[in-house]
Structure 1
Amino acid sequence: MAQPGQDAKFFQRGKIEEFRAELHAAEAKDKKFQKRRTVLKKIVANITMGNDMSPLFTDVVQCLGTPLLEIKKMVYLFLVSYGRAKPDQIHLVIPNFLQDCGDRNPLIRALAIRTMSYIPIPVVTDALSDNLRHALKDRDAYVRKTAAICVAKLYAADPRRAEKGGFVELLRDLMLDNNATVVANAVAALSEIGDRQDGVIFKLNLATTNKLLAALGESSEWGQIYILDSLLRYVPERCADAEMLGERIIVQLQHGNSAVVLTTIKALLYLMNYMENRQLIDHICKKMGPPLVTLLSSGPEVQYVALRNILLIIQRRPAVLKNDVRVFFCKYNDPIYVKLAKLEIMYRLARAENANEVLNELQEYASEVDIDFVRKAVRSIGRLAIKVEAASDSCIQTLLGLIETKVTYVVQEATIVIKDIFRRYPGKYEGIIPTLCENLDVLDEPEAKAAMVWIIGQFANIIDNADELLDDLCYTYTDESVEVQLALLTAVVKLFAYKSNMDKVKELVHKVLKWVTEDIDNPDLRDRGFMYWRMLALNPLAAGEIVLAEKPAITTDSDRMDRGALDQLLLHTGTLGSIYHKNPETFIRNAAGKALKDSPALNAHSRAVLVPLARSQLPPSLVTVPGPGPVESHSQGAERPETAMVAGPPAPPSKSGHEDDDVGGSHPADDGSEVGIVPDDDDEEPRGAANNDPYSNLGGAFGSYLADEPKPINAADHRGRHGEEDDLLF
């Protein structure tokens, strides 16, 4: 075997004719195949560098007759690269494939099967089918575990052939194999097939699940990931079953591989939806905290993955990291994306008990050199004031101190968040308005300017020179952004409602309304201008009552994710979906959606927000495979047409009236409760009464500064759903 670094000499660009001549010359006097091996290494190196070596197809294929395994590997690697591009010449190697499939050496048998599965051409898949069936029953475990993965590749190339050939049933049998690696690969292949939107549905029963867990200790790290991930295919019928499985896999939280840890957490979070033992749930939550904290000592990339997953986990299970807010304090050498993720988690974990500690840390961040980070830190101070009433006074003093620094971007961010604080605590902090007005000239960004204009208009009755301030701002009205123009229009009308007897105010209102309705092309501005003009013309008193109507106090309701969407995203912990905070079917073609399945053991809160999924099926017929355990009985009559129909795209999570059942939903914000976090207590019955208050969930309450706020997909029509009779029943 070549030592590392010795093959570097082969990575030099060569010409096709030179390689062809060397291959022909090597056929003459090369008893040990040394020359042929050297030429093939050069060809493979050029393939790696991106050079097109396909003209050498017939010359390289002639080397397949060589009995040396190393040469066979390189020729097969060449075929994997160019076999699909040469459908008219691939028939030349079929006899060699068939010969190697019957070779005495299991490595060669596995190599031939694997290479054939990489070439999705009908003539190759025809030859693969029979040999793959034999390989799945091969006496050597290495061949069986290779063949298991090849079934998934065959299914991707020709689903109909894989189903009719009975390969799914053979994979099912491999899950009961004596070799743990074979079991893990069979589970991986079935999961790959089941994750396709047009694939069979992969389900497990309790007996099979227990056998898979028995192979967990002997499997490799990646095998453990596949087996743990497959637990999401099992729907517990009894709470005791879910609790038993949770106790069996909790030891995997101590694993050194971060992927195994995250997959274990995903499985535990899933099983906890079917548990009723509160002590066990609390115990699992405590056990999940330290492994997550350990992930934060890894590199920045792994840290970011962990932080994005933690952000989801603490919304659903706040007890996991309730007392560990200090762990998420930013370090000086953290990349900006890690710092921003930590800021969001610090805000989520903030309570009355630790608010001062969090505030002091945020105040330190506000003096950093990174402008984007400073902006987020200042906004987080404002969000903290809105969330934790006990800390609002301290937050206001901190913001005033930051405004006194006269740093432009700091003043602008502080102005934006103070506007929201005024709405959260009406009549409490209006005394700081003069300080804000002193810094009016510093504001040059649209959002900050619009926030200040809103403050002037809303409190025009207590600002003596409000008319002068608005008049000055209106000098550049036509040059402002639409956001500022809308704010100025409303503020001027509010000013008129407060001071309608002043001639200067009347002139200002008339001037602005004339600009909006005659000189501005934006339809939103024109519509609002005409609306205000008609209101003022018909009944000025009524117009004043409308624009000065009491505003509902701003809350953090819009700051949390829909419970159904959250439960759905937690099924993708450790995947891209948990980083993007989007379901994979929204950005991966042909990906099947995941959602909690109903069962007698499912707790009431989770059942109240179940998300229905639509799944497209292959048109002609369904494949129903009885499992190795007891066969699950089908429902009477009506279920089959429902399963067989061709469904539309995966149904998105729907909003539910129960999404407000969180820690902050039933307590005022000043008691230190964690507003915006879904409760740990799943035993509480969900509320039945719908909330009719149109202002109870203000989507834009925090402007645009909700860092990475996950948004569930809008509801769509559900043209299909799962029935109890699925494609593959274990």
Structure 2
Amino acid sequence: MAARAQKFFSTTKKGENFELKAELNSEYKEKRKEAVKKVIANMTIGKDVSSLFADVVKNMQTEDLELKKLVYLYLINYARTQPELVILAVNTFVKDTDDVNPLIRALAIRTMGLLRVERIVDYLLEPLKKGLRDEDPYVRKTAALCVAKLFDLSPAIAMDNGLVAIVQEMLSDRNPMVIANAVAALAEISGASVKKDVFVVNNTILTKLLAAINECTEWGQICILNSLATYRPNDAREAREIVERVMPRLQHANASVVMNAVKVLMVYLNYVNDEDTTKQIIRKLAPPLVTLLSSEPELQYVALRNINLILQKRPDVLNQEMRVFFTKYNDPPYVKYEKLEVIIKLASDKNVDQVLSELKEYANEVDVDFVRKSVRAIGRCAVKIDSAAEKCINVLLDLIKTKVNYVVQEAIIVIKDIFRKYPQRYEGIIPALCENLDTLDEPEAKASLIWIIGEYADRIENADELLEHFLEGFKDENALVQLQLVSAAVKLFLKKPGSAQEIVQRVLNMATQQNDNPDIRDRAYIYWRLLSSNPQAAKAVVLAEKPPIEADTATVSESLLDELIQNIATLASVYHKSPSLLGGTAVDVSAVRGETTLEMDAEEPEVDARSVAQQVNAAVGGGIENLLDLDFGGPITTATPTSGGAGLTPQKSNIDDLLGLMDSGPGPSTPPYGTPTASGGFGGFNFGSSLGGGSGPSFSFPKTSLLTSADAQGLELQGTFSRKNGQPYLELTFGNRSGAPMSDFAIQFNVNSFGVAPAAALQVPSPLGPGATVDVSLPLNTSGGVQRMEPVNLLQIAVKNNVGVYYFSISIPIHVLFGNDGGAGAFGSRWGDFALSSQQFTIQGLGGVQDLAGKLRRNGVVVAQQPNPTTFQVTAQTINGEFVVAELNISSGSGVAVTAKAKNADLIPLFQQSLEGILRS
């Protein structure tokens, strides 16, 4: 039986990859080519064919361009997972960059730039330099983009080897496509570089760009138009000349070219002071925008979102083109909604009849959401155009007569806005509204009608009966409705005291005794106190004249609008968000509103501190929400440091200010830790002072004030950093200057550049009595969250006790983090690593350098070698693995010339600060 089973399940097939491997090594070229195609097909559908890496790479050396492209495609896909095997292909890449065929040369450079493997950078440099100088423009334009890819992988190498400078020179190339690619590469590099002067359009570059724009491909024109939008013309004449050169792009067949040309013209309108020229530009902008509305729905949507911004900036651009924005029966909902917004922006005295007729038709459609927005749009027209208000009211009354539930409710909501805009003008329609009392089931519609009843209680004979209708289900109503009922009952009482006393008593009782919502209870208590203590004051407050509302057709705030105009035809203009917010969590910093309605007397939303923190983090990169994990239960306050501390600047104690403080860094009153003082010292640090023996360096710094009792509710805190036997510590002195004992102390570090965090819990003897002071040593490690800070060595710390939570920031000297083993044996290999960032500096005015090696060792710096008495080769490695290697040369006994190298270039300035302090001690 077993034998039969074994025979049944046995097979000679060894799997598809085995068969592909055999075909890839076939002696027949066509068979190998077909095998590579099968490998690419498997890779495309997600199968793992990485085991065939070596066999596929063998086929790189071929004259067949198609096969070579397939192999390169495979390499790009698997280079990251097989970085050690990519080296096998390097020789072929280098050989291909010298091929007589420019297509192969360009293909090799392009592929090497896409491999994204640091180990291949060494081999890419020389071929890339040759490619940038190649006689064929196709190779040059490909190499220009490759520089941008290399900069993304290793900015220092791209800058130090002059590649970026060569690309800058290519802006003067004779070939327009090379210029376009150079513009694209430099724009990408400029966006990612700390230095923002990598690509600046000047008069010389401007001339080249304008000459190249007519001969570029669509993609090249887009890149050049983007760069022109950043240029600021010297005068109106230059602006007009640029506009004339860009205007023909409005007739291009590509929608993206058209939108980028529109962007340039919108920007340059700010610099053209000639009224005739301005009118001419505006007249030219309308036809291309209208043409875009004949495209497929997705393009229509993008165009409409950009048109929305353009009309907010220049309302007269499309004032003669209203009809093209009327919706079609087959338009998708998202296009209909955007067209509706544009219609509202274009509505005026001249076309309002046409607009209202169209909106009334929309209100009879079957799409409920679109009908609601159409009814609301009628109300917005009434608020925007005074002369059309009565026409809008009549249209709304006609819609109410249809008795369609959702139409009636939306109409009541917008009529409330019209009453706010035009008080005491259209009260005659109130009976028609009240007839629909029983059909209302949406909170906003109920609240709107209750507001109308309360506002016009003295003119509605049965106002008390109408309110009674709503009071029957007070407990089950939405909070918005309950708030309006409380306000309306009080208004009714103040206007008709005799008939409404029972109602107001009943409402206030239910709102204060049978309601858990603090906003409703608080409002009821305030009204109760006003009515019982001073009815005249209550009347002056509750029945005060309300300012009429104004039409607001703005989709974004004015401050954001200019930024979005600069980014027309990008995602920012579609989302109506600042470009800086689209790289992370989007923060709605503008008043983005799809519809304009009166905000009713409703409760304020509760502030979600974590949500606000995440938004601040997305905007400024502070990572502050980590500090909010401390659920201390006490009041949150912000502490103001004394003039001698490294803390925060004085601010108001509220959550918004608190969140804004977290990226403030050291206060301006004192230099941060590790910054040389004017007197030549090092911020008062006592470098080299021993704290005892042990296996590692030991030293400490004088303490400075971090929190003062005046701003931390009696808590006084001083602190500094130290090392004991190679272990970093935060030395703190807690003082209680209040009249009550303090307890429940805790500490938390925010994410920071080195991941510095407490290695143990904060141990403060509790309770800490009034007037008492205690010293605490908090051991540190680098197990915390990592996120780059500015400055790099900034730490943000939260301390709490039973009274409150307090925040301060402090800068940690880099050599506090130096490990016990600086990696002396690794100095040689690290020093020769050309991938490291290198900087040179000189420390002057030392007045002679004594016992240099001893000073360095006592502060955690390892002296790796000493080739001669005046030269020291040192290495310093932080406890999280970052390192700096340096060569120190003593010159004339009064100064030290230093060449420092590090993988992380941000470490070198910190190393320089620490080294200067060490040598001056």
Q: In the alignment, which of 24, 27, 42 is matched to residue 38 of structure 2?
A: 42
Q: Which residue of structure 1 lines up, in the alignment, with residue 803 of structure 2?
A: none
CA distance in 2, matches of 1:84, 1:580: 34
Q: Which residue of structure 2 lines up, in the alignment, with residue 549 of structure 1?
A: 544
Deviation at 1:507, TM superposition (A): 2.1
Q: Which residue of structure 2 lines up, in the alignment, with residue 400 of structure 1?
A: 397
Q: Which residue of structure 1 lines up, in the alignment, with residue 131 of structure 2?
A: 135
Q: In the alignment, which of 87, 90, 94 is matched to residue 94 of structure 1?
A: 90
On the 8 A contact 1:193/1:199 being kept in 2, the answer is no
Q: In the alignment, which of 440, 444, 457 is matched to residue 441 of structure 2?
A: 444
1:56-67 equivalences in 2 (<5 Å): 56-67=52-63
CA distance in 2, matches of 1:589, 1:170: 33
Q: If each structure's strand is expressed as a fraction of its own residues, which one has the higher value?
A: 2
1:38-187 equivalences in 2 (<5 Å): 38-187=34-183
CA distance in 1, matches of 2:313, 2:663: 23
CA distance in 1, matches of 2:181, 2:236: 29
SS class of match (2:266): helix
Distance 1:650 1:214, change over 3 A: farther
Asked if 1:581 is matched to 2:576, the reply is: yes
Q: In the alignment, which of 16, 19, 32 is matched to residue 18 of structure 1?
A: 16
Q: Which amino acid aligns with 2:543?
A: L
Distance 1:113 1:589, change over 3 A: farther
Asked if 1:526 is matched to 2:557, the reply is: no
Distance 1:106 1:580, change over 3 A: same
Distance 1:648 1:139, change over 3 A: farther
Q: Which residue of structure 1 lines up, in the alignment, with residue 211 of structure 2?
A: 214
TM-score under structure 2 length normalisation: 0.61
Q: Which amino acid aligns with 1:544?
A: K
SS class of match (2:330): coil
Q: Which residue of structure 2 lines up, in the alignment, with residue 240 of structure 1?
A: 237
1:705-720 equivalences in 2 (<5 Å): none
Q: Which amino acid aligns with 1:271?
A: Y
TM-score under structure 1 length normalisation: 0.77
Asked if 1:419 is matched to 2:408, the reply is: no
On the 8 A contact 1:457/1:495 being kept in 2, the answer is yes
Q: In the alignment, which of 499, 505, 509 is matched to residue 510 of structure 1?
A: 505
Deviation at 1:500, TM superposition (A): 1.6
Deviations 1:146-201 (A, max 9, x none): 11111111111112222222222111111111111111111111122223374634
Most deviating of 169-178 and 85-94:
85-94
Deviation at 1:47, TM superposition (A): 1.6
On the 8 A contact 1:497/1:541 being kept in 2, the answer is no
Name stretches of at least 5 consecutive residues in structure 2 with no aligned partner. Answer: 1-12, 587-618, 622-659, 665-789, 792-921
Q: Which amino acid aligns with 2:179?
A: V
1:299-698 equivalences in 2 (<5 Å): 299-502=296-499, 505-557=500-552, 559=554, 561-589=556-584
CA distance in 2, matches of 1:158, 1:221: 30
SS class of match (2:498): coil
Deviation at 1:320, TM superposition (A): 1.1
Distance 1:615 1:126, change over 3 A: farther
On the 8 A contact 1:255/1:261 being kept in 2, the answer is yes
On the 8 A contact 1:585/1:650 being kept in 2, the answer is no
Q: Which amino acid aligns with 2:91?
A: P
Q: Which residue of structure 1 lines up, in the alignment, with residue 643 of structure 2?
A: none
Deviation at 1:565, TM superposition (A): 1.5
Distance 1:546 1:579, change over 3 A: same
SS class of match (1:471): helix
CA distance in 1, matches of 2:39, 2:454: 74
Most deviating of 434-443 and 226-235:
226-235
Name stretches of at least 5 consecutive residues in structure 1 with no aligned partner. Answer: 1-14, 592-613, 617-646, 652-718, 721-730
Q: How large is the RMSD of aligned CA atoms in angstroms?
A: 2.3
1:191-230 equivalences in 2 (<5 Å): 191-196=187-192, 198=194, 200-201=196-197, 202-230=199-227
Distance 1:313 1:429, change over 3 A: same
Deviation at 1:516, TM superposition (A): 1.7
Q: Which amino acid aligns with 2:514?
A: D
Deviation at 1:52, TM superposition (A): 2.0
On the 8 A contact 1:423/1:553 being kept in 2, the answer is yes
CA distance in 2, matches of 1:522, 1:497: 25
CA distance in 2, matches of 1:251, 1:430: 55
Q: Which amino acid aligns with 2:92?
A: N
Deviations 1:366-422 (A, max 9, x none): 111111111111010010011111111111111000000000000000000000000
SS class of match (1:312): helix
Deviations 1:219-254 (A, max 9, x none): 111111111111023121212111110111111111
Q: Which residue of structure 1 lines up, in the alignment, with residue 261 of structure 2?
A: 264
Q: Which amino acid aligns with 2:531?
A: L
Q: Which residue of structure 2 lines up, in the alignment, with residue 9 of structure 1?
A: none
Number of aligned pairs?
583
On the 8 A contact 1:16/1:55 being kept in 2, the answer is no
On the 8 A contact 1:259/1:574 being kept in 2, the answer is yes
Q: Which amino acid aligns with 1:290?
A: P
- Between 1 and 2, higher relative CO (CA 8 Å, sep ≥ 6) is seen in 1
Q: Which amino acid aligns with 1:153?
A: K
Deviation at 1:558, TM superposition (A): 7.0
On the 8 A contact 2:292/2:303 being kept in 1, the answer is yes
On the 8 A contact 1:16/1:56 being kept in 2, the answer is no
On the 8 A contact 2:21/2:52 being kept in 1, the answer is no
SS class of match (2:214): coil
CA distance in 1, matches of 2:424, 2:27: 97
SS class of match (1:88): helix
Deviations 1:623-669 (A, max 9, x none): xxxxxxxxxxxxxxxxxxxxxxxx99999xxxxxxxxxxxxxxxxxx
Deviation at 1:97, TM superposition (A): 1.8
Percent of pairs with identical residues:
50
Deviation at 1:590, TM superposition (A): 11
Q: Which residue of structure 2 lines up, in the alignment, with residue 29 of structure 1?
A: 27
Deviation at 1:28, TM superposition (A): 4.2
Deviations 1:311-356 (A, max 9, x none): 1101111221011111111111111111111111011001101111
On the 8 A contact 1:467/1:495 being kept in 2, the answer is yes
CA distance in 2, matches of 1:199, 1:44: 41
SS class of match (1:582): coil
Q: Which amino acid aligns with 2:78?
A: Y
On the 8 A contact 1:262/1:574 being kept in 2, the answer is yes
CA distance in 1, matches of 2:395, 2:562: 37
Distance 1:278 1:364, change over 3 A: same
SS class of match (2:568): coil
Which of these two proteins has the greater Rg computed from alpha carbons? 2
On the 8 A contact 2:21/2:55 being kept in 1, the answer is yes
On the 8 A contact 1:615/1:648 being kept in 2, the answer is no
Deviations 1:93-134 (A, max 9, x none): 222222222222222211111111112222112211222111
Distance 1:410 1:561, change over 3 A: same
On the 8 A contact 2:312/2:554 being kept in 1, the answer is no
CA distance in 2, matches of 1:459, 1:110: 78
SS class of match (2:192): coil
